């Protein structure tokens, strides 16, 4: 089975569009600000895709582009401007940032109620303590949970193995799966005999940035394989961290690259923009599970 993130993303647009329309009829304009510093080509594509999706849904999207030599003080001033702007519901600072800027300082500068990425220590703390309050979570892992739910893949009691320990994907992914009842194993760059772990995964999440790291032999037959990689092969073609052509013969379900996790990341961003808009306007939210 192929897990079609692009199709699911387009399907979820229908109800989100209706929700935006209803909010607008009440005089509420959902608004997202994306700040991008420098000219990393991949980031430019992601930001463009986010902007397109927002426009499609009727969400107001502002992109603030700044040069690669933009200073940390200048970026903090820009964030502060949008923190104080009551018409803005979500602020996203695209990562990676140039080296003169400390990302942890920037993440902490974003007003908590506008932390649409869920990267702040407070929101990460809620995730890791399985809080029943509403809180935003990192968009890529959230999108993966949405895909699993849609394809009726229940993590409860399953062994989930995470390859890659990033703050954006691996770590929050493990927490979400743990909260959903999975047994979670984290693996990372120092893990010895990686394959001995991946081969025991019922749900395998791969987020390393190493093209085609995971081969058919590394996968338990029938497993669900989620590929978060966005890599370039020797011909410059966009490929994942999983060798898709061979893995699809072994996996029970698998996400393609492109058209898998990427579009669902953007869907999560839109969902969380709407959630923050509703919170700002004292609207009730669905309880967390």
Task: Identify whether 117 is a catalytic site residue.
Answer: yes
Q: Of the listed pieces 60-68, 83-91, 183-191, 251-259, which binds ligand GUE according to CB under 6 A?
A: 251-259
Residues 6+ apart with CB under 8 A from 110: 79, 83, 91, 93, 119, 120
Q: Does 95 bind ligand GUE (CB under 6 A)?
A: yes
User: Strands of 90-93's sheet, edge to edge?
Assistant: 60-66, 31-37, 90-93
Question: What is the C-alpha to C-alpha distance for residues 79 and 125, in angstroms, rounded to an integer?
Answer: 22
Q: Does 62 bind ligand GUE (CB under 6 A)?
A: no
Among 88, 93, 110, 247, binds ligand GUE (CB under 6 A): 93
Residues 6+ apart with CB under 8 A from 187: 161, 162, 163, 164, 165, 194, 197, 198
Q: Does 263 bind ligand GUE (CB under 6 A)?
A: yes
Q: Does 92 bind ligand GUE (CB under 6 A)?
A: yes
How many CB atoms sit inside 10 A of residue 190's CB? Answer: 6
58/259 with CB nearer ligand GUE: 259
Q: Is 80 annotated as a binding residue?
A: no
Task: Identify whether 94 is a catalytic site residue.
Answer: yes
213/257 with CB nearer ligand GUE: 257
Under a CB-based contact definition with an 8 Å cutoff, are residues 224 and 153 in contact?
yes
Q: Does 38 bind ligand GUE (CB under 6 A)?
A: no
Q: Of the listed pieces 14-22, 43-51, 77-85, 207-215, which binds ligand GUE according to CB under 6 A?
A: 43-51
Question: What is the C-alpha to C-alpha distance for residues 251 and 46, in angstroms, rounded to an integer?
Answer: 28
120/158 with CB nearer ligand GUE: 120
Q: Is 166 annotated as a binding residue?
A: yes
Q: Is 241 annotated as a binding residue?
A: no
Residue 221 exposed, middle or buried by CB count within 10 Å (0-12, 13-18, 19+): exposed
Q: Which residues bind ligand GUE (CB under 6 A)?
A: 45-46, 49, 92-95, 117, 139, 230, 238, 257-259, 262-263, 265-266
């Amino acid at each position: 089975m192929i897990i079609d993130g692009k199709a699911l993303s387009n399907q979820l647009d229908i109800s989100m569009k209706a929700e935006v329309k209803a909010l607008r009829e009440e005089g509420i304009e959902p608004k997202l600000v994306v700040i991008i510093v420098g000219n990393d080509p991949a980031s430019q594509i992601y930001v463009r895709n986010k902007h397109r999706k927002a426009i499609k849904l009727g969400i107001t999207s502002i992109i603030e582009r700044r040069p690669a030599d933009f200073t940390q003080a200048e970026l903090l001033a820009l964030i502060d401007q949008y923190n104080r702007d009551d018409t803005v519901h979500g602020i996203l600072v695209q990562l990676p940032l140039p080296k003169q800027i400390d990302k942890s300082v920037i993440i902490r500068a974003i007003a908590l109620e506008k932390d649409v990425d869920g990267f702040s220590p407070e929101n990460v703390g809620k995730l890791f303590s399985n809080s029943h309050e509403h809180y935003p979570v990192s968009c890529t892992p959230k999108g993966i949970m949405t895909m699993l739910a849609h394809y009726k893949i229940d993590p409860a009691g399953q062994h989930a193995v995470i390859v890659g320990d990033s703050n954006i994907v691996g770590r929050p992914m493990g927490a979400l799966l743990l909260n959903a009842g999975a047994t979670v194993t984290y693996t990372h760059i120092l893990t010895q005999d990686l394959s001995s772990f991946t081969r025991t995964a019922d749900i395998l999440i791969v987020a390393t940035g190493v093209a085609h790291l995971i081969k058919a032999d590394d996968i338990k037959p029938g497993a669900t394989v989620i590929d978060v990689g966005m890599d370039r092969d020797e011909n410059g073609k966009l490929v994942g961290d999983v060798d898709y052509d061979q893995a699809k013969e072994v996996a029970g379900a698998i996400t393609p690259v492109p058209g898998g996790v990427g579009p669902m990341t953007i869907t999560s961003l839109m969902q969380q923009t709407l959630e923050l808009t509703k919170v700002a306007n004292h609207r009730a939210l669905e309880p967390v599970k």
